[in-house]
A and B are shown apart, each in its own frame.
Chain A
Amino acid sequence: MFPFIVPDRRRNADPLFWSTVFSAGLVLATAVIFSSYLFWESLPVWDQGLWAFLTSVEWDPGEDVYGAGAMIYGSLIVTSLALLFALPFALCGAITASEFLSPRARLVFKGAMETMAGAPGVVYGLLGAAMLSLWVKDFFGLIDGSTLFTAGILLGIMILPTIMTLAEDAIHSVPGEYRDTALSLGLTPLQAFFKAVAPRALPGIIGAVLLGLGRALGETIAVMLVIGGLDIIPMGLDLFSPGQNIPSKLGREAAEAIGSGMHWNALIALGAILFTGTMMLTAAGSWLLRRRAV
């Protein structure tokens, strides 16, 4: 059976072997069914015009009018802000940990980062709603702290440890000979890092950033608590206006719309857009991370 999947010598293996194959098949089927369901259920929305759905800002279930513009805009803005905020800190942290910390200190540092990276989004969200949004409100003199900016900063804090620890892995996996050679040629440690190590670690670092972005794009509850929940594209590039991103919209409206008509299809379509986005980021990130071993 399935000689093209299972090598010949395994054909008469014990039942346990086949049960593992069965489970693996189930996992694969789930992935296929999952993604096809997303696109199949959102078909009625695509039928009405893909471009109109992607760009319109009107979202009114009462009138059965759906446009994802505000949510897509919000997702892009919030994710970019998070990246802008997190990147410098993440990279500096990764360089320090890999190049300048003692092995013991490095492990402690990595441990802390990985703990932070694993903290659930809702915990960040609670702190964001209780503290960050009030700080933003007071610091910038706004009438309310629920803004795109707040959400961006909060996401930045969330993805910082993810990016830092993955980028650190990438830098650390560059073989020591590169450093030794560069140092023996008379370069300072920093010069050695930028000239010899960084170019080799670059694909891995970019991969780390993309995986971090994937997390930022899909984060729901933390963003929902601080973004304001208003489906608008603010005038100009006003970061201190409330907004909406795709996951937050889904979180707010999914329960009332489950399985009912166009509203549901439109939400699923939003899900499909989000899925495509994170899938591409994750795929690109994993591909680059795999190449990091030079």
Chain B
Amino acid sequence: MNLSIKVFCRMTLTKNYGLNGVIVSLVFLASFSFGYFERGVKLSFAEEIETLRIVGSTTVAPIAARAAEMFSKKHSGIRIIVNGGGSGVGINAVGRGLAEIGLASREVTLKEKKRFENANLKDHAVGRDGVACAVSSEIFYAGVTELTRQQIANIYSGKIKSWKDLGGPDRPILVIDKEKHRGTRHVFMNYVFGNVNARARGARLVTGSNNEERSKISQSDSAVGMLSAAWLNGDVKGIALKQDGVSISPTEENIRSGKYPVIRDLLFITAGEPKGILKEFIDFVRGEGGRSIVLESGYVPIHSS
């Protein structure tokens, strides 16, 4: 029996693009939310191949993509396809039966629960992540390294328009918002305004995936946005949040210990309790094998905290 396995990697998921970051990110912009992470295994003989479709949050997608690659090496006869799109897209897809697993970096909202009552959505936490208030490195090095919740709220509601008012250079703030259904936005807005759907009247731009947000922030010298802490890099710096006189940076350590206030569980969502190969895959991600994947992706494994 000739068993030849081809692994297709359309685009690899690495977090440090270095000099090519902007170019790579622009390619990502183009494919903007769909179809960037697709890994599959094809078999050259006719046999029933089970397909797992995984869709959703671009924050969780790196975990799913890495896990899919490792899992399909061990299990022949399974094909796993991972796609981005955002948490809202993931929940919608699994709720409507368009995917076996929906990825979400936020909780399922009441409205979504009601809409997909029949699907009986179950969530499985696979890791933990912090949402950082991210700024262009120029701003960070010019001295704006910490902000209070009220200051961030004022930026996003349009009351503060210049970095000068925050101790930075005399430049207008490029306020970057995200698409409304995105998990990162829900978590961030819930922290800043206490409302997951809060409106950001001061926003100048709306972006989608983590990649798009990060490339926009790094392209500018005066931008502020919201970003999964794992996506921060040299050009895009996470700001420390100041609470009661204490500043807490979105470092891995602070997220692990729960000290950093804006954290969320990264979820795999299934319709009903998972069975068969689906259960095996989820157990794999939540087990020892998954632990190293979660760490490698820059997140905190769920069982260690």
Contact with B along A228-239 (1 / 0, CB 8 A): 111000000000
B153-190 with Cβ < 8 A to chain A? 171-174, 177, 179-181
Is B191 in contact with chain A by the CB < 8 A criterion? Answer: no
Q: Once the chains bind, are A261 and B96 in contact (CB under 8 Å)?
A: no
* Centre residue among B115, B197, B205 by max chain A CB count within 10 A: B205
Is A69 in contact with chain B by the CB < 8 A criterion? Answer: no
Given contacts A144-B220, A228-B204, A258-B92, whether A221 and B181 have CB atoms under 8 Å apart is no
Is B73 in contact with chain A by the CB < 8 A criterion? Answer: no
**Residues in chain A near residue B180, CB distance under 8 A:** 60-62
Q: Once the chains bind, are B86 and A256 in contact (CB under 8 Å)?
A: yes
Is A242 in contact with chain B by the CB < 8 A criterion? Answer: yes
Give bound CA distance, A63 to B197, whole Å.
9
Q: Once the chains bind, are A252 and B34 in contact (CB under 8 Å)?
A: no
Q: Once the chains bind, are B204 and A221 in contact (CB under 8 Å)?
A: no
* Smallest CB gap from A231: residue in B: B206
Q: Once the chains bind, are A62 and B34 in contact (CB under 8 Å)?
A: no
Q: Once the chains bind, are A242 and B204 in contact (CB under 8 Å)?
A: yes
Is A26 in contact with chain B by the CB < 8 A criterion? Answer: no
Q: Once the chains bind, are B205 and A125 in contact (CB under 8 Å)?
A: no
B26-70 with Cβ < 8 A to chain A? 26-27, 29-30, 32-34
* Centre residue among B98, B172, B179, B219 by max chain A CB count within 10 A: B219
**Residues in chain A near residue B92, CB distance under 8 A:** 255-258, 260
Contact with B along A252-294 (1 / 0, CB 8 A): 1101111111000000000000000000000000000000000
Q: Once the chains bind, are A255 and B203 in contact (CB under 8 Å)?
A: no
Partner of A143 from B89, B111, B174, B207 at Cβ < 8 Å: B174
Q: Once the chains bind, are B30 and A125 in contact (CB under 8 Å)?
A: yes
Is A165 in contact with chain B by the CB < 8 A criterion? Answer: no
Contact with B along A56-75 (1 / 0, CB 8 A): 00001111000000000000
Q: Once the chains bind, are B206 and A60 in contact (CB under 8 Å)?
A: no
Interface residues in A, total, Cβ within 8 A: 29
**Residues in chain A near residue B115, CB distance under 8 A:** 260-261
A191-250 with Cβ < 8 A to chain B? 221, 224-225, 228-230, 242
Given contacts A60-B197, A221-B30, whether A242 and B181 have CB atoms under 8 Å apart is no
**Residues in chain B near residue A42, CB distance under 8 A:** none
Is B199 in contact with chain A by the CB < 8 A criterion? Answer: yes
A116-141 with Cβ < 8 A to chain B? 122, 125-126, 129-130, 134
Partner of B29 from A63, A129, A144, A252 at Cβ < 8 Å: A129
Give bound CA distance, A129 to B31, whole Å.
13
Is A79 in contact with chain B by the CB < 8 A criterion? Answer: no
Is B130 in contact with chain A by the CB < 8 A criterion? Answer: no
* Smallest CB gap from B85: residue in A: A255
Is A98 in contact with chain B by the CB < 8 A criterion? Answer: no
Is A146 in contact with chain B by the CB < 8 A criterion? Answer: yes
**Residues in chain A near residue B223, CB distance under 8 A:** 144
In the assembled complex, the CB of B292 is this many whole angstroms from the nearest CB of chain A, namely 31
* Centre residue among A122, A126, A144, A228 by max chain B CB count within 10 A: A144
Q: Once the chains bind, are B206 and A126 in contact (CB under 8 Å)?
A: no
Is B222 in contact with chain A by the CB < 8 A criterion? Answer: yes
**Residues in chain A near residue B222, CB distance under 8 A:** 143
**Residues in chain B near residue A259, CB distance under 8 A:** 96
Is B88 in contact with chain A by the CB < 8 A criterion? Answer: yes
Q: Once the chains bind, are A143 and B85 in contact (CB under 8 Å)?
A: no
Q: Once the chains bind, are A229 and B206 in contact (CB under 8 Å)?
A: yes
**Residues in chain B near residue A229, CB distance under 8 A:** 179, 205-207
* Smallest CB gap from B206: residue in A: A229
Give bound CA distance, A261 to B32, whole Å.
25
Given contacts A60-B197, A225-B30, whether A252 and B205 have CB atoms under 8 Å apart is no
Given contacts A60-B197, A126-B26, A144-B220, whether A252 and B208 have CB atoms under 8 Å apart is yes
Give bound CA distance, A126 to B22, whole Å.
12
**Residues in chain A near residue B219, CB distance under 8 A:** 134
**Residues in chain B near residue A258, CB distance under 8 A:** 92, 96, 98
* Smallest CB gap from B222: residue in A: A143
In the assembled complex, the CB of B91 is this many whole angstroms from the nearest CB of chain A, namely 8
Give bound CA distance, A97 to B282, whole Å.
64
* Smallest CB gap from B55: residue in A: A255
B210-266 with Cβ < 8 A to chain A? 219-220, 222-223
Q: Once the chains bind, are A252 and B179 in contact (CB under 8 Å)?
A: yes
Can you list 9 contacts pairing A with B, beta carbon distance less than 8 Å? A125-B30, A143-B204, A221-B30, A225-B30, A225-B32, A230-B177, A242-B206, A258-B98, A260-B115
Residues of A within 8 A of B (CB): 60-63, 122, 125-126, 129-130, 134, 143-144, 146, 221, 224-225, 228-230, 242, 252-253, 255-261
9 cross-chain pairs, A with B, having the tightest CB-CB distances, nearest first = A229-B206, A62-B197, A256-B88, A255-B89, A256-B181, A256-B89, A143-B172, A143-B174, A144-B174
6 new A-B contacts at CB < 8 Å, known A242-B206, A255-B34, A258-B92: A144-B174, A144-B204, A230-B205, A253-B179, A256-B179, A259-B96
